[in-house]
Amino acid sequence: MTTTENSARSVPKPTFTDAEAGAKEFPDSGPSARRYNYYKPAKRKQTHYEDVTVEVQPDPRHYLTQGWIYGFADGSRGYPLDWTKLKAWGVDNPEPERGPGSGGKPVQDWPAHGWHEFRDPNEEWELTMFRYNANVERQIGQNVENARNAKAFDQWTQNWVRFVERHVGAWMHIEHIFGLYIFAACNRSGPTNMHNTAMAVNSEHKIRFAQDLALYNLTLTEEIEGFDGAAHLDAWNNDAEWQGVRKVAEALTAVDDDWGEMIFGTNIVFEPLLGELFRSNLVQQAAPGNGDYVTPTVMGAGEYDFAQRDLRWTQACMGLLTQDKEFADHNKQIMQGWLSHWVPQCLDAARQLQPLWSQPDAKPPRFEDSLDRAKNRFAGILSDLGLDAPKELSQ
Amino acid sequence: MSRQSLAKAHQKIQELSWEPQYHEPYMKYGTDYTFRKAAKKDPLKQVLRSYFPMQEEKDNRVYGASDGAIRGNMFRQVQERWLEWQKLFLSIIPLPEISAARSMPMLFQAVPNPELHNGQAIQMIDEVRHSTIQQNLKRLYMNNYIDPAGFNNTLRNFHSDYCGTIGRQFAEGFITGDAITAASIYLTIVAETAFTNTLFVAMPGEAAANGDYLLPTVFHSVQSDESRHISNGYATLLMALSDEDNRQLLERDLRYAWWNNHRVVDAAIGTFIEYGTKDRRKDRESYAEMWRRWIYDDYYRAYLLPLEKYGLVIPHDLIEESWNQIWNKGYVHEVAQFFATGWVANYWRIDSMTDEDFEWFEYKYPGWYDRYGKWWENYNRLSRPNGHHAIVAEDVDYVYPHRCWTCMVPCLVREDMVVDKVDGQWRTYCHEACRWTDAVAFRPTYEGRDTPNMGKLVGHREWETLYHGWNWADVIQDMGFVRDDGKTLTAQPHLDLDPKKMWTLDHMRRMPHVASPNVILNEMSDSEREAFVADYNAQGPAGRPAGSTS
């Protein structure tokens, strides 16, 4: 048998061009020319994360010589630095004035201001965020599947079933609101690409966790006879215990034009005082005693997102500002004001949650002990940031 | 979690939709469009449980291919002519991508339909992917391609270069001004639905033909996300159409978005595909042929036209005019010629055209040689420093063009150039449609209607203004387009890396100073300006002086 070739076939011909690194010597051919050279790395060596994020979002104080080319109706342009009351060193220095014959006036000493010093300590970019979240999804899926096969849900008491369907279910709404209307919403507002990318990744965690809880709820509806998959909506909309938490969560989305306050209020105040209080100090503690080893694995994934990643970038972001060489006092004063505003609301909402502690048959640690633990953790976070615990915390 | 069906899982996550009970979210981004709450379904139907592993798998394929390309010595087969243009393209594109991520929350606020917000959030995540994966691709080129100059200072270059500023419309336009104009009509309805076809499908095909299979690997992976975003735009558009009051704004925004995308994307991608390739097979599609297929047939005829029955006023005239510009008025060729004229102000090397290229152009665009052939022969003749200036300062029958105030591409089809005094300044526009965009559309009132949320065109939109009266050597040094010996230019008008054949700052120092056409225009008396316009409109093609017979 012979092979016949289609003579009409037209394909590009490979050509040997020898266009690979090192093939010739000329100005800029050396190894030192093979790195992004327009920014200063945070540490001695520039990281992969920095290479794919730093300076992608331009700044007229750096190289944006023709300036922003679109403006809002009120005249603001690009990513205004006054979209938060927080300030980083150098922001009050005037932007280079450019005009006929001025030249480009590129930055001489990078960075031009302190906002550019922020790096996400989690070093998140697309490769890391998909690997991380895909791993979480796989692990949760395997945990729940294993529990389903082992008929683990049969061990749950009726009270615990009610608790999970109403209250664990209600928590999905908090995560969803934060994911979309705090973190995704703020990813248009931050002063640098590093801030906005960290917020987008934080948003992913929240939206994913909300969906994890929703789909877990769906599984339980399928697996547990009498499990009411819509009870979480009733709890969220009507239970007195949830209305305080809901009110604060909604208030955080309504912060008046300040991405810094939204992020600070959510990750520095709400999450330790209400998020961890509910997730770690109630659900995680109560579940084992009530025969449930599955819910903590779902809840724990979300808790890890916050405790190990989302809080981490937020502390790095806010910590730079409380130690800022020019505006540390200004920033601390602003943050103390935010603490005075948000801490009482969160504590009030926490106390409204208190009846939940008595609902499971096997009781978790006392509410006051749980709240003390949350407060201590919160006070530690403030101490790390160089902030004072507000007087409201001791009330 | 058990493997519920996707439909069931998607149905379940709709229970997350939030109706505020105590506080409404802060509305940061305004729109003049009005939306009634409507039960529009999330068109993406993505659940993150399956989305993240799917994206991870796509990543695995992309990064696996990247490793394979390096191990397989792909760069021994890459055409330098092609990869040089990637120094421009890949300096631009990560910002539009990340800007698309930033634009999604503008839609959360403008479109009161929580179910659509899910799809928009997924798009936000996709766009973070695209921006960083493209920065990474460029890093790989920098590390492995023979000439890293231009890649290594990529974002400084992009931010300070006039080509970068033109490209920046395709980013700032997504995130500034009226939320629906920017994030929906300009971004998803026109840029993503129409023009990503040429960006992310046609261009990678050309890359592969030039020995670069990494660009297709990355950009086809990106395009597989774009197809989802098109659904987002469509859902919002249908919601907007359901309110009669929006139709006037939709008509305005489609005209602006269409024309601006045509001016910007066709200029750049058309040049890359036609002048950045070594593949001169006669049966490979030209950019014009691709445009006719991907944009005219697939977008205009198959996507836009059916929307007419829902009341959408389609800019038929501008779509036909875009084709007229590409096919009859040589828009892409004029742009490529201008890029090459101004090679000194850029950060990549531009290859000369050869007899084989000439033959291909003449075959694909009959009459090309008469218009452009002589000029490209001059470009080749003047490509190595030999006692003469760079071509921009030599007499080659080319009149340096004025810049369009709106799209910032120069006014290259000379007969179409118009001038107008807007905001107290005389401005040149490449076409009446661009004048309309600045003078009529981007204003706080439109056809008697208040449009308080409409954005503004701002900034130093003519690059030459900044360097009016400067010596070219100082301009290039100020922009940072110099190699690590401190004198050799990053840009070159040829691909020869022999240092003796490369242009340096010393060559630039001898050239005449830079002059801003707009500064000069504003110094003219009324009669001088009228004479200037008449002369300009009589110029061309190929930038020839008025009355030139050559």
Distance from CA of B514 to the nearest CA of A (A): 10
Residue of A52, A221, A243 to mutate, testing the B interface (most B Cβ within 10 Å of its Cβ):
A52
- The answer to whether A187 faces chain B, any CB pair under 8 Å, is yes
Distance from CA of B443 to the nearest CA of A (A): 9
Q: How far apart are CA A245 and CA A248, in angstroms?
A: 5
Q: What tokens appear for A388 in the block?
A: 């004072």
- Determine the pLDDT at residue A204: 97
pLDDT one-digit tens code per residue, A148-179:
999 999 999 999 999 999 999 999 999 999 99
Contacts of B142 in chain A (CB under 8 A): 34-36
Q: How far apart are CA B371 and CA B540, in angstroms?
A: 9
User: Chain A window 96-155: which residues touch B at a Cβ cutoff of 8 Å?
Assistant: 98-104, 106, 125-127, 129-131, 133-134, 136-138, 140-141, 144-145, 148
Sign of CA dihedral B349, B353, B357, B363: positive
The model's pTM is: 0.97
Closest residue in B to A73 (Cα) is B455
Contacts of A200 in chain B (CB under 8 A): 101, 124-125, 128
Closest residue in A to B142 (Cα) is A34
Q: How far apart are CA A186 and CA A197, in angstroms?
A: 10
In order along its 550 residues, chain B shows pLDDT tens digits of 445 688 899 999 999 999 999 999 999 999 999 987 666 677 777 899 999 999 999 999 999 999 999 999 999 999 999 999 999 999 999 999 999 999 999 998 888 888 889 889 999 999 999 999 999 999 999 999 999 999 999 999 999 999 999 999 999 999 999 999 999 999 999 999 999 888 888 899 999 999 999 999 999 999 888 878 888 888 899 889 989 999 999 999 999 999 999 999 999 999 999 999 999 999 999 999 999 999 999 999 999 999 999 999 999 999 999 999 999 999 999 999 999 999 999 999 999 999 999 999 999 999 999 999 999 999 999 999 999 999 999 999 999 999 999 999 999 999 999 999 999 999 999 999 999 999 999 999 999 999 999 999 999 999 999 999 999 999 999 999 999 999 999 999 999 999 999 999 999 999 999 999 999 999 999 999 999 999 999 999 999 999 886 5
User: Chain A window 288-327: which residues touch B at a Cβ cutoff of 8 Å?
Assistant: none
- Determine the pLDDT at residue B550: 59
Residue of B125, B279, B285, B479 to mutate, testing the A interface (most A Cβ within 10 Å of its Cβ):
B125
Contacts of A245 in chain B (CB under 8 A): none
Contacts of A212 in chain B (CB under 8 A): 1, 48-49
Among the partner residues A67, A126, A186, nearest to B133 by beta-carbon distance = A126
Q: How far apart are CA A75 and CA B176, in angstroms?
A: 10
Q: How far apart are CA A379 and CA A382, in angstroms?
A: 5
Q: What percent of chain A is modeled with pLDDT above 70?
A: 98
3-class DSSP state of B279: coil
Residue type, B93: I
ipTM of this complex prediction, to 2 decimal places = 0.96
Q: What are the residues facing A61 on neighbouring strands?
A: none
- Determine the pLDDT at residue B229: 86
Contact A27 B483 (CB under 8 A): yes
- Determine the pLDDT at residue B424: 97
3-class DSSP state of A71: strand
Closest residue in A to B183 (Cα) is A188
| Residue B26: closest CA among A181, A83, A271, A32 | A181
Distance from CA of B549 to the nearest CA of A (A): 36
- Determine the pLDDT at residue A4: 64
pLDDT one-digit tens code per residue, A236-271:
999 999 999 999 999 999 999 999 999 999 999 999
- Determine the pLDDT at residue B228: 82
- Determine the pLDDT at residue A1: 56
Contact B499 A57 (CB under 8 A): no
Q: How far apart are CA B159 and CA B166, in angstroms?
A: 10
CA distances to A209, B226, B231 from B44, rounded to whole Å, are 19, 11, 7
| Residue B265: closest CA among B154, B361, B159, B170 | B170
- Determine the pLDDT at residue B198: 84
Contacts of A35 in chain B (CB under 8 A): 142, 152
Query: Using 50, 70 and 90 to split pLDDT, how confident is the model at A14?
Result: confident
Q: How far apart are CA B127 and CA B59, in angstroms?
A: 14
Question: How many C-beta atoms lie closer than 10 Å to residue A226's C-beta?
Answer: 9
Render the burial of B10-41: b for 16+ CB within 10 Å, e for the rest.
Answer: bebbebbebeeeebebbebbbbbbebeeeebe
pLDDT one-digit tens code per residue, A114-126:
999 999 999 999 9
User: Chain A window 212-271: which residues touch B at a Cβ cutoff of 8 Å?
Assistant: 212, 214-219, 222-223, 229-230, 232-233, 237, 243, 246-247, 250-251, 253-257
Render the burial of A74-112: b for 16+ CB within 10 Å, e for the rest.
Answer: eeebbbebebbbbbbbbbeeeebebebebbbbbbeebbb
Instruction: Name every residue whose Cβ is closer than 8 Å to that of residue B211 and which is 6 or more positions away in sequence.
Output: A14, A15, A17, B74, B77, B78, B79, B82
Distance from CA of B386 to the nearest CA of A (A): 19
- Determine the pLDDT at residue B1: 45
Residue A142 pLDDT more than 80?
yes
| Residue B491: closest CA among B505, B481, B479, B501 | B481
Contact A73 B133 (CB under 8 A): no
Contact between B483 and A27 under an 8 Å Cβ cutoff? The reply is yes
**Alpha-helical regions (H) of A23-125:** 48-53
- The answer to whether A172 faces chain B, any CB pair under 8 Å, is yes
Among the partner residues B124, B168, B281, nearest to A69 by beta-carbon distance = B168
Residue A148 burial (C-beta neighbours within 10 Å; 0-12, 13-18, 19+): middle
Q: How many CB pairs under 8 A join A and B?
A: 399
Contact A56 B98 (CB under 8 A): yes
Among the partner residues B102, B211, B499, nearest to A14 by beta-carbon distance = B211
Contacts of B176 in chain A (CB under 8 A): 68, 70-72, 77-78
Contact between A390 and A339 under an 8 Å Cβ cutoff? The reply is yes
- The answer to whether A62 faces chain B, any CB pair under 8 Å, is yes
